[in-house]
Amino acid sequence: MEYAVQVATIPVLMPASRADLLDPSALAALGHLELVARWVVDGFLTGLHRSPRKGFSVEFAEHRPYQPGDDLRYLDWRIAARADRWVVKQFEEETNTRAMLVLDVSASMRWTGEAARLTKLAYAEHLLGALALLLLRQRDAVGLVRADDSLRSVVMPSTRTGQWFRLAAALAQPGGGTGTDLVPALSQAAHLVRRPGFVVLVSDLLVEPAPVIEQLRTIRARGHEVLVLHVLDPVERDFPEGAEAVFTDPESGASIAATPGEIRAEYQDTVRQALDEWRTGLLQVGARYALAMTDEPFGQALRALVRATGRGGMPIA
Amino acid sequence: MTFLAPLLLTLAAFAGVPLLVHLLRRRVTRRVEFPAVRFLLQTQREHSRERAVRNRLLLLLRLLAVLALVAAAARPMASLGGTGHPPLAVAIVLDQSMSTRAVIDGSTMLSRLQQAAQSVTSQLSADDRAWLVTNGGMVVAGDGATLNREIAELQPLAGAGDLSGAVRRAAALVAAGAPRTPVVVVLTDGQHAALDTAITVNNTAVVVHAPVVTIPPNRVVHDVQVEPARWVPGGRLVISLSAPDSAAWRVVLGDRTVSRGVAPASEFSSPQQITVVAQAEDSGWLAGRVEMDADDFPGNDARAFAVLSGAPPSVVVQPSAGPFVDAAVDVLVSDGRLRRSASPSGASVVITSAVDEVSRASLRLAPLDPLQIVSANRALERAGIPWRFGAVRRDTVLVDDALQNAQPQPSAHLSGTRVTMRYRLDRVATSASADSGVVLATAGGQPWIVAGSNYVLIGSPLHVAATNAPVLAAFVPWLRDVVTQRLSDGATLAAAAPNDTIAMPVQADSLRFPDGTQIPLGSGRLVVPEATGVYLFRRDARTVGALVVNAEVEESDVAAWGGDIWKDRIAGSDVQLEPRAANVAEAVFDRSGGRSLTWPLVLLASLALVAEALIARGVFAPRTSHPVHA
């Protein structure tokens, strides 16, 4: 009955606004992760113009005039002989990529700065669900690694029917330990993708950058594309309001007293520097970086993910 | 630096509040889970030094603000900087004597002085302390508005008042206003008789404003002498008057004009003497007035007098009084001033030796024989007289009877009389309500003639063996005055100036004013009413004496108007004469001394608080240029 109600709600909701652009917490409250992911992907695709990448694959797309420097292998000799026109054949690029999604499920990810907002983990789960569905619809193999201070669950990449449900079930599993150690998870993910594919890391990156970046460098060296989605709660970016308090890290237990009004500006500077450090470090190893705030619509973050893939990334639609 | 309200400096304890807050804040009880503590730790590491400096700066600014506000509340003064005029303790002495009634160029002298006073009071600030002191005895403390109102309501006195006393009082008041700069402002018409004694003000600044004006013509009735003291029923009035031009005068006795005439021009220093013979139509005390044509100097062109009309008092001279007194009474009887009575019971006054028992008003003489002193003292005790004869002295001393406390003042004096034998007169303790008497004359510095309500007691017998008084020319008039004025029932006549304080000349329970109203009297001293005229002493519904109130004639002497004399009469290190009314306020407020630092300190506290707010908001903190973005 509950499901029926949710389904009945969608037609009312969807014409007015696309699901991928709705408030994430409001949207997540409407249904299970699988359902929400579908709405997000549907809305996302509705908003895309069909702009296929043209490459030199097996599926013919169209001809275009020959330009000096074009590979002569793709010159259409028949037309050249028949009509004395020099054209080259273009093919719609068709990939069958293997993607591994790596999700940080540490204690810090299970935190939200505002009760009405999704935790970083919930936000990341919905976002990865949508991404996985998007990839699977393109016949790409998608796998999942969930990790905190150790590997919590692994779903092997596959394009088989039912893969989406396995992924959704894995994403819906409860979180794990308190610490964060992304290096083994990334290593595991890279090993599960045998030929060059891409690895998507979704985390709040509240770890030391150097080991992670070094591991990503190794992954990049094996030919994988790497995409890092940095999930932050707006309060982590701006610092909480209120009187002086002792702030405690749920993972390490470290605490410090501070007065928000006095330290906010400097804290925000520090956050900016940390983000810059991540962005710079990742770019240096050839990884892509995108920042997602948990109050942003899923579609916006999904679009950032797709945009960050670049030319060698995900062949969307 | 000095403080006008130093007690408020105790509020400096509040400076500990920021420190307390700083310490209390170390005990933080609120705990917040926050995953990005690593950023917070990094922030603290990177900015700890900067933050410590900033926190100390904030603490200093808060302390500075509190201390500056506390100091401002204590109202500090310093010689450097500051705002407004120096805080002053200023006393305005305003001369409202009779001479300020003079009309000069259409306005009275008093109104000119009032304007000058208000030019000072209108510039008083909240830090100043101010008083208004008048020579009429008024002392008012208050702010500028209060004093302005009081000044506007002042009216000229009928007499000279006490300007010297007012200046002394003002100097004492401003001295109590320390640490403010003490300034006394004397606003006077410059009439030279007003400041009758020199005054020392030491370090108190004195600004004297005596306007330079053209003195108006002044017609003055100097004096009216009534001769004899008791008219039976006629007598003479000896009138002294002066006028710069010939002026009409008239004498009014009761409700009728008894004489009039025109006086020739004369100087104030040499007045004309005019004798008027008149008859009294009624018996008892009659009020009279000598008037001249009005001029621009009102108040002194009329003078009151009182006449006692009726039969001469009857007197009995006992043999013990001696032959000299008896002979003198014969002279007075033959002149119609006294009547002899057959017996003491029918006499108004009895003249006798102090040894005799007398129940009526009496002139009592010391016995010639020292052996009778005991009997004499016993008789004095029985008569309720609070004086006793002491040891006999046989040295030669002189008499002084020009004593200020004797009312009425005798017209005939025994001063200079030689005394070779006398008894010391000792006052004995009496009940509070009893008549303690006054000393009318001293011999060798000790009481020689004393008087009460119904007695006059002499410390020597009136005999040539004891004193040469009986053979002096002044003896008969003196005896006449004693009998007719002091001892005759209802014949006491006193004269005084407005607002004077005099000894009660007679035992009376009330005083009747010229308009018929009556006020009760106490014993002791009497403050003379403000208005001039004839007042009657009443006891048991009977008139027992009269009080004639006239302005001091010196108050009418305008020849010496001017300010220069004042610098000599006020001895101080900073006495400034300012003849121009427009410059009085400037002269007052331009005294040396510190200025108020209240507002500069409030400004300093405000700046400290603004700086604290800006620093607390991080306005001065360095910022990175790039924002957080995806």
Could you say which of A237, A248, A266 has the minimum Cβ distance to residue B33?
A248
In tens, the pLDDT along B386-432 reads: 999 999 999 888 888 766 555 666 666 788 899 999 999 998 876 55
Q: Is residue B56 part of a domain?
A: yes
Say whether both B283 and B335 belong to one domain: no
Q: DSSP assignment of B85-98, as one string?
A: SPPEEEEEEE---G
Closest of B452, B444, B460 to residue B487, by C-alpha: B452
Closest of A244, A238, A214 to residue A226, by C-alpha: A214
Residue B611 C-alpha, separation from nearest chain A C-alpha, in angstroms: 15
- pLDDT of A20 > 70? The answer is no
Number of H helices, E strands in chain A: 11, 11
Instruction: Inspect the interface and report whether the beta carbons of A275 and B38 lie closer than 8 Å.
Output: no
Q: What's the total number of domains in chain B? A: 4
Say whether both A73 and A206 belong to one domain: no
- What is the pLDDT confidence band of residue B331, given thresholds at 50, 70 and 90? very high
- pLDDT of A229 > 80? The answer is yes
Measured CA to CA, the distance from residue B588 to residue B181 in angstroms comes to 10
CA A204, A214, A123: angle at the middle one, nearest 5? 15
Say whether both A16 and A81 belong to one domain: no
CATH number for the domain spanning A146: value is 3.40.50.410
Least reliable range by pLDDT among B3-12, B53-62, B560-569: B560-569
Residue A52 C-alpha, separation from nearest chain B C-alpha, in angstroms: 26
Q: Is residue B629 part of a domain?
A: no
Say whether both B438 and B318 belong to one domain: yes
- What is the pLDDT confidence band of residue B124, given thresholds at 50, 70 and 90? confident
Residue B67 C-alpha, separation from nearest chain A C-alpha, in angstroms: 24
Q: Quote the tokens at residue B233.
A: 């029923």
- Which stretch, A167-176, B112-121, B202-211, has highest mean pLDDT? B112-121
CA distance between the termini of chain A: 34
> What residues of chain A lie within 8 A of the CB of B623, using their CB?
265, 269
- What is the pLDDT confidence band of residue B560, given thresholds at 50, 70 and 90? low
Say whether both A143 and A204 belong to one domain: yes
pLDDT of residue A308: 62
Could you say which of A256, A266, A276 has the minimum Cβ distance to residue B47?
A266
Least reliable range by pLDDT among A3-17, A96-110, B572-586: A3-17
The arithmetic mean of pLDDT across residues B241-258, rounded, is 90
ipTM for this prediction: 0.76
Select from B257, B282, B303 the last residue of a domain.
B303
Q: Quote the tokens at residue A214.
A: 């070094």
Tell me whether A241 touches chain B (CB under 8 Å). no
Say whether both A205 and A237 belong to one domain: yes
Instruction: Inspect the interface and report whether the beta carbons of B630 and A292 lie closer than 8 Å.
Output: yes
Structural contact between residues B486 and B401, judged by C-beta atoms closer than 8 angstroms: no
> What residues of chain A lie within 8 A of the CB of B628, using their CB?
237, 268, 271-272, 275, 291
Residue A142 C-alpha, separation from nearest chain B C-alpha, in angstroms: 25
Measured CA to CA, the distance from residue B131 to residue B120 in angstroms comes to 11
pLDDT of residue A316: 36
Instruction: Inspect the interface and report whether the beta carbons of A274 and B42 lie closer than 8 Å.
Output: yes
Say whether both B292 and B431 belong to one domain: no
Q: Is residue B197 part of a domain?
A: yes
The arithmetic mean of pLDDT across residues A27-38, rounded, is 69
- Which A positions 45-74 lie with beta carbon below 8 A of chain B? none
Say whether both B328 and B467 belong to one domain: yes
Q: Is residue A316 part of a domain?
A: no
- Which stretch, A207-211, B78-82, B491-495, has highest mean pLDDT? A207-211
Higher pLDDT, B25 or B494: B494
- Which stretch, A249-253, A301-305, B498-502, B602-606, has highest mean pLDDT? B602-606
Structural contact between residues B269 and B525, judged by C-beta atoms closer than 8 angstroms: no
pLDDT of residue B589: 81
Say whether both B359 and B473 belong to one domain: yes
- pLDDT of B508 > 90? The answer is no
Torsion of CA A157, A160, A164, A168, to 10 degrees: -60
The arithmetic mean of pLDDT across residues B156-184, rounded, is 86
Q: Is residue A1 part of a domain?
A: no
pLDDT of residue A224: 87
Say whether both A195 and A62 belong to one domain: no
- What is the pLDDT confidence band of residue A56, given thresholds at 50, 70 and 90? very low
Instruction: Inspect the interface and report whether the beta carbons of B43 and A244 lie closer than 8 Å.
Output: no
Q: Is residue A3 part of a domain?
A: no
Q: What's the total number of domains in chain A? A: 2
Say whether both A88 and A171 belong to one domain: no
In tens, the pLDDT along B450-477 reads: 988 788 999 999 999 999 999 998 899 8
Tell me whether A20 touches chain B (CB under 8 Å). no
Chain-wide mean pLDDT for chain B?
84
Q: Quote the tokens at residue B250.
A: 């008239």
Least reliable range by pLDDT among A307-311, B338-342, B476-480: A307-311
- What is the pLDDT confidence band of residue A317, given thresholds at 50, 70 and 90? very low
- pLDDT of B364 > 80? The answer is yes
Q: Is residue B254 part of a domain?
A: yes
Q: Which residues of B366-381 are buried (b: 16+ CB within 10 A; e: fewer)?
A: bbbeeebbebbbebbe
Signed CA dihedral, B86, B91, B92, B93: sign only = negative
- pLDDT of B614 > 80? The answer is yes
Tell me whether A229 touches chain B (CB under 8 Å). no
Say whether both A88 and A100 belong to one domain: no
Domain with B103, as residue range(s), is: 88-215+558-593
Higher pLDDT, B29 or B201: B201
Least reliable range by pLDDT among A57-71, B308-322, B520-534, B604-618: A57-71
pLDDT of residue A25: 74
Higher pLDDT, B194 or B242: B242
Q: DSSP assignment of B300-344, as one string?
A: SSEEEEEEEESSPPEEEE-GGG-HHHHHHHHHHHHTTS-EE-SSG
Higher pLDDT, B581 or B48: B581
Least reliable range by pLDDT among A56-65, A161-170, B130-139: A56-65
Measured CA to CA, the distance from residue A159 to residue B423 in angstroms comes to 151
The arithmetic mean of pLDDT across residues B344-348, rounded, is 84
Say whether both B342 and B396 belong to one domain: yes
> What residues of chain B lie within 8 A of the CB of A266, using their CB?
43, 46-47, 51, 618, 621
Residues in Cβ contact with A176 at an 8 Å cutoff, skipping those fewer than 6 apart: A105, A106, A146, A147, A148, A149, A150, A152
Measured CA to CA, the distance from residue B187 to residue B211 in angstroms comes to 9
Closest of B433, B441, B480 to residue B460, by C-alpha: B441
CATH number for the domain spanning B372: value is 3.40.50
Q: DSSP assignment of B559-592, as one string?
A: TT-SSHHHHHHEEES-EEE---GGGHHHHHHT-S
In tens, the pLDDT along A244-297 reads: 888 999 888 888 888 888 788 889 999 999 999 999 999 999 898 989 999 988
Select from B303, B335, B358 the last residue of a domain.
B303
pLDDT of residue A88: 85
- pLDDT of B117 > 90? The answer is yes
Q: Quote the tokens at residue A156.
A: 């092997």
Q: List own/partner pairs for B18-24 with CB under 8 A and 24 or more apart.
A: B18/B59, B18/B62, B18/B63, B18/B66, B19/B59, B19/B63, B22/B55, B22/B59
Select from B284, B303, B322 the last residue of a domain.
B303
Q: Where are the beta strands (DSSP E) in chain A?
A: 54-55, 59-65, 87-92, 98-104, 141-147, 151-158, 198-203, 225-232, 245-248, 255-258, 288-293
Q: Is residue B517 part of a domain?
A: no
Structural contact between residues B310 and B340, judged by C-beta atoms closer than 8 angstroms: no
Structural contact between residues B239 and B271, judged by C-beta atoms closer than 8 angstroms: no
- Which A positions 263-302 lie with beta carbon below 8 A of chain B? 263-276, 290-293
Say whether both A149 and A61 belong to one domain: no
Closest of B272, B215, B306 to residue B512, by C-alpha: B306
Higher pLDDT, A313 or A61: A61
pTM: 0.50
CATH number for the domain spanning B270: value is 2.60.40
- pLDDT of B433 > 80? The answer is no
- pLDDT of B621 > 70? The answer is no
